[in-house]
Amino acid sequence: MKFYDKYLILVNKLNKIPDNFNYDLINIYSNYKKDYLYIDKVVYTNYLLLKDYLKKKNINIEIESAYRTHDYQEKLFNDLCMEKGKDYALKYSATKYHSEHETGLAIDICILKNNKYYIEHELNDLKELNIIHNNIYKYGFILRYPKDKESITGYNYEPWHIRYVGKFSNIIYKNNLTLEEFYNLYLKN
């Protein structure tokens, strides 16, 4: 099947970002970072809808990380190698051209609760996390690196890393699939 949907692009350890990838980035403000970030325009529109939905449930999310340049991704990976070793870095970070953050389609979220931002592994013990994970698909997002799927995604569980896939999020969520599994079942030639 010949099919292309920018929002379904498979970027992982084996699949790099295509040279002709179509970026549509906008500049947005992150309350967590107290700085400006870049993100895909459609992704941000849907993130705002998700954020509004969660706010009605008394859950406040913010963007911790979004688009990264190729050079910045390389720096992050190299810094993690220096700090924790290459084996660790390969479980939690991507090399240059192999990170979804380099597409602008991925967001690392954090939760603001009791005037404190909870990030990355701090999210694991928050009850709000289940509500977030069980509702992101309604807005086109999936949990990109779910628990017990490490052998498929190549990365350890990351409860903070969500990825916009658009209208196919419902199929991925309801069938408990990773993007790799969805791709192999529905899109591979």
Catalytic residues: 158
CB–CB of 65/36 below 8 Å?
A: no
Grouping H, G, I as helix, E, B as strand and the rest as coil, residue 102 is helix
CB–CB of 144/8 below 8 Å?
A: no
DSSP-derived secondary structure letter, 117:
E
Q: In this structure, which long-range contacts are made by residues 81-88, counting pairs with CB atoms below 8 Å and at least 24 apart in sequence?
A: none
**AA letter at 139:** Y
